[in-house]
Structure 1
């Protein structure tokens, strides 16, 4: 089934660009700052080390805070999940992406949250969260936000290096990767421990149908990005976010947090 709302519109603002808007006169100056992607290290899941790429004289080092579970969903489940998403409208977002949001209305700058039109997580996610709870790392994971994102090589889709908010969103960021393999680039601006080489980049391979979790230093210190060079065919992902202690039992905003958790667990949500 084809995704709804396949237009040639662009959702880019500010310094962000995609292949659609990069032909515009007022965006051309931004292309000069776009360097090709390079990696200093590659994450090895078995050893949990960041291993240097060829030509890098640095030694491997521990890279904690990454959990990756391959084949979290089957091919049939993947097909059903994407078909369910494609029945809803994909709205244009930054850097050539499209999105579907299920979550509260948030102003991160002013640190304000309200329920808005949030009606819960989608019904298709209920069995996914049940399955996640079987993993020790996610046994107590209760998300109140789900963001579906669509990446397309034809649009030059990407997401710049960034750290997710840590005032509202809690310790674990959980992503289900669908339709194609990709690479998530972890970067640290000032080097790592005794390495004196400026920015350090670690490539983490993200296979199709895997479940990917960031926590600890990988969540709070290392920025993460998906570069357009690592999007080779249509990619869809669902990222789930939980609340911080401020919104849980005993926290200053416990009441609002309880309302969000109750809504999320109804699994009656529609994209906002």
Structure 2
């Protein structure tokens, strides 16, 4: 089934709470929804070759930024085209902050810590070769995703995702994302700053994501630093696929290992449809 208006999907708004997009701003007025910005922010950018967060292009004013792995040209132009065409044949569901999404994973209630297998049919077929390619990278050895979430961003909707930490009860150490259709910037932030470096206010590190690249967050970048995609960094349609693995609790020796085996068996049959 073809999603309506797959170019931007600007038909409705799914924002709740403080989240917002351009559609709800037009309806409710931007002033009522404006989130307060911190007065002082220290801005750095990430250099993937050195692994340093650099301030104003000055190597002297930098610090090591561990937990990010960037793989440029992870997919080809032809693969990107095939992936997007296939996604656009499925329904894109409205999500918050002007995004649209497709979920391939179990239904989860993170508040009650409950996982429901029903309806989960696995990851999509085209992901099989991509997961095999990921596993060739030493930092992704043994990576077995149990969930894939496709997200669609468009400047006409004011799409973004707020700074957040992904759940660590169900999801494991590595978060893997393929960035498609346009370049963007992943903003890492630490609200409490880095007092040990004399930075007492919020610190942000901009990680440039080229089109067709893959990025992995792990370690401090996964568990300490929040990550976000800001509205101003979405210039054209952007689609990403994020893959998540299971936490230790759901692996061999964990309290819910039996459920983990069941989830992985479903996920890795690569016959899934969006739930």
Cα deviation code 1:29-88 (max 9, x no counterpart): 11263689976100011110000026x998200000000000000001100000010000
Helix, strand or coil at the partner of 1:100 = strand
Alpha-carbon spacing, 1:162–1:62, altered in 2? closer, same or farther (3 Å): same
Of the three residues 254, 257, 262, the one matched with 1:254 is 257
Q: What is the RMSD of the two structures over their aligned residues, measured on CA atoms?
A: 2.2
Distance in 2 between residues matched to 1:112 and 1:32, nearest whole Å: 32
Q: 2:56 aligns with which of 53, 58, 69?
A: 53
Match of 1:64 among 66, 77, 82: 66
Q: 1:264 aligns with which of 264, 267, 273?
A: 267
Are the structure 2 counterparts of residues 92 and 37 from structure 1 closer, same or farther at C-alpha, using a change threshold of 3 Å? farther
Partner Cα separation in structure 2 for residue 181 and residue 5 of structure 1: 17
Alignment deviations for residues 127-158 of structure 1 (CA, whole Å, 9 cap, x no partner): 00011111011120001000000000000000
Shift of 1:3: 2.3
1:224 is aligned to 2:227 = yes
For residue 115 of structure 2, what is the aligned residue in structure 1?
113
Give the 3-state SS of the residue equivalent to 1:197 in structure 2.
coil
Alpha-carbon distance in 1 for matches of 2:145, 2:26: 39
The residue number in structure 2 matching 1:87 is 89
The SS at the match of 1:123 is: coil
TM-score by length of 2: 0.93
Task: Please give the alpha-carbon distance, in whole angstroms, between the structure 1 residues aligned to 2:8 and 2:122.
Answer: 23
What's 2:210 paired with? 207
Deviations 1:168-194 (A, max 9, x none): 000000000000000000000111233
Contact 2:42 2:201 in 1 (8 A): no
1:178 partnered with 2:177: no
Displacement of 1:116:
2.5
Q: Is the 8 A contact 1:37 1:227 kept in 2?
A: no
In the alignment, the residues of structure 2 paired with residue 221 and residue 137 of structure 1 have an alpha-carbon distance, to the nearest angstrom, of 19
Q: Which stretches in structure 1 are left out of the alignment for 5+ residues?
A: none
Distance 1:15 1:129 in 2: 35
Per the alignment, in what secondary structure is the counterpart of residue 255 of structure 1?
helix
Equivalences, count: 271
1:198 Cα shift? Answer: 1.2
Give distance in 2, aligned partners of 1:35 and 1:79.
40
Equivalences for residues 131-170 of structure 1 within 5 A? 131-170=133-172
Instruction: Give unpaired runs (5+ residues) of structure 2.
Output: none
Matched, 1:123 2:125: yes
Contact between 2:149 and 2:242, CA under 8 Å: does it hold in 1? Answer: yes
Q: Quick one: structure 1 residues 260 and 25, their matched pair in 2 at CA, closer, same or farther if it must change by over 3 Å?
A: same
CA distance, structure 1, for counterparts of residue 83 and residue 42 of structure 2: 32
User: In the alignment, is residue 19 of structure 1 matched against residue 19 of structure 2?
Assistant: no
* Equivalent pair of 1:3/1:87 in contact (CA under 8 Å): no
User: What is residue 190 of structure 2 aligned with on the other side?
Assistant: 188
2:77 maps to which residue? Answer: 75
CA offset digits 1:79-138 (Å, max 9, x no partner): 000001000000000000000000011111111111131100000100000111110111
